[in-house]
């Protein structure tokens, strides 16, 4: 286990004031906000920032951590907390919630394992905490349903009554019809209950991996439908693969690029299924052969056509 430099994580000096810590945390929380940030590792960074802030913004934990550093531990060192390292420190804060600490590093959980879960162990709230996570699906999963294996770090109470993190694999059967932004609730799969009370629930936010061909908007799917100029002009029936198979689509005559064809009910299946929209894209044959050039020249001569007419030229 590596010793972590929380000051470096927050990019502050070792004598930073409480106010400077708060400012540094907010600055980084803005930079790495997982919903907005363009940084690729924003989510991981945000976890590290939260962890550093959880320690440094709490005077008692900060003092205990500082003492370890004075004992000569440095970032990257292999680290085991010396026995009784936290003797003399009273952690009076309300502790961390299990769900928060599940995101934190092994280093953190080793150091503060006696405080983990402390927030949930007071008498009034004995039910286990709810946990929140994300699940990434493929578009095809929502058409057919699937079973996904999830590995989560879950806090568990050990024999000494301490909370420890254990890896936990769940095989979740995803129903067909699931769409982005939906939340799955797995009853009883959250944090453990205390004193015989029921465990919390696990909530999974559904996300879809970006798909090369399809764009998903709620229950509707959008895909490009490339057509030839003559198919667009004269009308045609074309074959195209869609998420649930092959379909024959009628392209109306006199169509242009951008025209949307709606296949009702062929979007994500549900009680009220979504629609599938095919957006026409007229593709021109390249004029690299003599024959092709002749055709284009004939069109130029025979068709009086000016696409810039309404631009006044």
Partner 1 sequence: MSQEIDAILLEDARLSLDELARSCRVSREWVIEHVQWGLLQNENLIGADPNVWIFDSRSFVRIKRIVAIERDFECNPELAGLVADLIEEVELLRTRLKASGPNES
Neighbour count for residue 253 (Cβ, 10 Å): 11
Least distance to partner 1 from the beta carbon of 181, Å? 6
| 64 DSSP assignment | H
138 binds partner 1 (CB under 8 A): no
Binding mask 78-117 for partner 1 (x = CB under 8 A): -------------------x--------------------
Asked whether 169 and 151 are in contact (CB, 8 A), the reply is yes
Least distance to partner 1 from the beta carbon of 90, Å? 24
**What tokens appear for 193 in the block?**
């209950």
214 binds partner 1 (CB under 8 A): yes
Which residues between 153 and 192 bind partner 1 (CB under 8 A)?
Answer: 168-175, 178, 181-187, 189
CB-count exposure of residue 289 (10 Å: 0-12, 13-18, 19+): exposed
217 binds partner 1 (CB under 8 A): yes
Least distance to partner 1 from the beta carbon of 132, Å? 7
Q: How many residues bind to partner 1 according to rule CB under 8 A? A: 41
Single out the residue of 36, 136, 287, 299 in contact with partner 1 (rule: CB under 8 A): 36
CB-count exposure of residue 266 (10 Å: 0-12, 13-18, 19+): buried
Asked whether 72 and 100 are in contact (CB, 8 A), the reply is no
Single out the residue of 15, 19, 35, 90 in contact with partner 1 (rule: CB under 8 A): 35
What Cα–Cα distance (Å) separates residue 242 from each residue in 199, 214, 256, 267, 277? 42, 9, 21, 9, 10
215 binds partner 1 (CB under 8 A): yes
| 2 DSSP assignment | B
Single out the residue of 84, 88, 196, 210 in contact with partner 1 (rule: CB under 8 A): 210
Least distance to partner 1 from the beta carbon of 240, Å? 16
Report which secondary-structure segment, H or E, holds 208.
strand 202-208
147 binds partner 1 (CB under 8 A): yes
Least distance to partner 1 from the beta carbon of 183, Å? 4
Where helices occur in 160-271 by DSSP H, the ranges are 229-234
Sequence-distant (≥ 6) Cβ neighbours of residue 1 within 8 angstroms: 78, 79, 80, 106, 107, 110
Tell me how far apart the alpha carbons of residues 270 and 219 are, in angstroms, rounded to a whole number: 8
Q: Which is nearer to partner 1, 64 or 202 (CB)?
A: 202
Q: Which is nearer to partner 1, 81 or 226 (CB)?
A: 226
Single out the residue of 3, 7, 25, 79 in contact with partner 1 (rule: CB under 8 A): 25
Single out the residue of 121, 132, 153, 259 in contact with partner 1 (rule: CB under 8 A): 132
**What tokens appear for 190 in the block?**
């959250």
Tell me how far apart the alpha carbons of residues 44 and 66 are, in angstroms, rounded to a whole number: 24
Site residues, partner 1 (CB under 8 A): 25-26, 29-30, 35-36, 97, 127, 130, 132, 147, 149, 168-175, 178, 181-187, 189, 201, 203-206, 210, 214-217, 222, 224
């Amino acid at each position: 286990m590596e010793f972590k430099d929380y000051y470096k994580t927050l990019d502050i000096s070792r004598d930073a004031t409480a106010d400077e810590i708060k400012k540094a945390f907010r600055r980084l929380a803005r930079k790495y906000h997982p919903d907005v940030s363009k940084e690729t590792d924003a989510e991981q960074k945000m976890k590290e920032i939260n962890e550093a802030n959880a320690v440094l913004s709490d005077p008692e934990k900060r003092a205990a951590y500082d003492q370890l550093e004075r004992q000569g531990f440095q970032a990257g060192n292999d680290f085991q907390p010396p026995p009784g390292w936290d003797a003399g420190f009273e952690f009076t804060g309300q502790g961390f919630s299990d769900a928060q600490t599940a995101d934190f590093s092994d280093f953190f959980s080793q150091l503060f394992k006696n405080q983990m879960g402390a927030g949930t162990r007071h008498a009034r709230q004995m039910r286990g905490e709810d946990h929140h996570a994300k699940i990434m699906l493929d578009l095809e999963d929502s058409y057919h349903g699937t079973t996904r294996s999830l590995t989560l770090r879950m806090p568990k109470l050990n024999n000494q009554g301490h909370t420890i993190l254990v890896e936990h694999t769940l095989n979740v059967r995803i129903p067909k019809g699931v769409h982005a932004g939906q939340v799955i609730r797995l009853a009883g799969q959250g944090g453990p209950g205390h004193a015989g009370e029921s465990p919390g629930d696990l909530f999974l936010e559904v996300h879809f991996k970006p798909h090369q061909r399809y764009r998903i908007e709620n229950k509707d799917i959008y895909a490009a439908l490339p057509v030839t100029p003559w198919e667009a002009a004269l009308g045609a029936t074309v074959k195209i693969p869609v998420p649930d198979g092959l379909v024959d689509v009628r392209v109306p005559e006199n169509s242009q690029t951008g025209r949307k064809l709606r296949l009702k009910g062929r979007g994500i299946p549900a009680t009220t299924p979504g629609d599938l929209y095919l957006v026409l894209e007229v593709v021109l044959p390249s004029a690299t052969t003599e024959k092709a050039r002749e055709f284009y020249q004939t069109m130029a001569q025979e068709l009086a056509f000016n696409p810039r007419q309404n631009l006044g030229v």
